[in-house]
Amino acid sequence: MLKRILLVLSALTLTLFFLSAASAETPASSSILVAYFSATGTTRSVAQKLAEGLHADLYEIVPEEPYTDADLNYNDRGSRTSIETDDPSCRPAIAGELPDLTAYSTILIGYPIWWGDVPRIVSSFVENVDLTGKNIAVFFTSGGSGLGSSMKHLEQQAGAGNWLEGKRFSGHAGTEELTAWARSLGIEP
């Protein structure tokens, strides 16, 4: 009888061991993070559709001090964004916590083009997270400008990661177009 109880107990222990091992190996909900900054909503819409199509997690880079319409006035050389652009060392503060990137193998970074370059707050982001070993691709929206040196600058500022590509999307880009781009880089949902 005692032998039988011991047998049942050891079988139970083994089952519990394998169950806990299996749950420890369960992958995170997504291994892709879409991180983006958007001042007027265009890049946000693209980022949301991209994350939806890839079943990716979404992180918005939110400025501690929101950009007002006056701040965004590129016709005013004295506006906040003009001043930030003129100062390569400017790193606007990001509100809230930065994401923990440990669980992600791929980070897609989205931003609007400002004066042919990347907004300084996106530099604040790449300089304050650890992109070591991550596959990274950038996507951007603009009034017509191309990538310029924006990705090259981010890559230099991050100093880590495997930077794949940068692509412009219109604010009306659909989920299919966006996921097709990701797939072309070997990034699968």
Q: Tell me how crowded residue 163 is: count the other CB atoms within 10 A of its CB.
A: 19
Query: Tell me, what DSSP letter sits at residue 99?
Result: P
Q: 44 or 49: whose CB is closer to ligand FMN?
A: 44
By CB under 6 A, name the one of 88, 96, 116, 186 that touches ligand FMN.
116
Asked if 154 touches ligand FMN (CB under 6 A), the answer is no
By rule CB under 6 A, what count of residues binds ligand FMN? 20
Query: Token pair of 9, please?
Result: 């107990």
For residues 53 and 117, the answer to whether their CB atoms sit within 8 Å is no
By CB under 6 A, name the one of 31, 53, 56, 112 that touches ligand FMN.
112
What's the min distance (Å) between Cβ of 87 and ligand FMN?
A: 14
Q: Which of residues 12-51 bind ligand FMN (CB under 6 A)?
A: 38-44
CA 150 to CA 141: how far, in whole Å?
12
Q: Which of residues 49-88 bind ligand FMN (CB under 6 A)?
A: 72, 74, 81
User: 76-81: long-range contacts at Cβ-Cβ below 8 A with a sequence spacing of 24 or more?
Assistant: 81/114, 81/119
Least Cα distance to 123 among 162, 149, 97, 144 occurs for 149
Residue 151 has phi, psi (to 5 degrees) of -70, -40
Asked if 123 touches ligand FMN (CB under 6 A), the answer is no
Sign of CA dihedral 95, 96, 100, 105: negative
Q: Given the rule CB under 6 A, which of 16-24, 101-109, 136-144, 175-183 is the region that contacts ligand FMN?
A: 136-144
Q: Given the rule CB under 6 A, which of 10-18, 19-27, 109-117, 161-169 is the region that contacts ligand FMN?
A: 109-117
Asked if 145 touches ligand FMN (CB under 6 A), the answer is yes
Residues near ligand FMN (CB under 6 A) are 38-44, 72, 74, 81, 112-116, 141-145
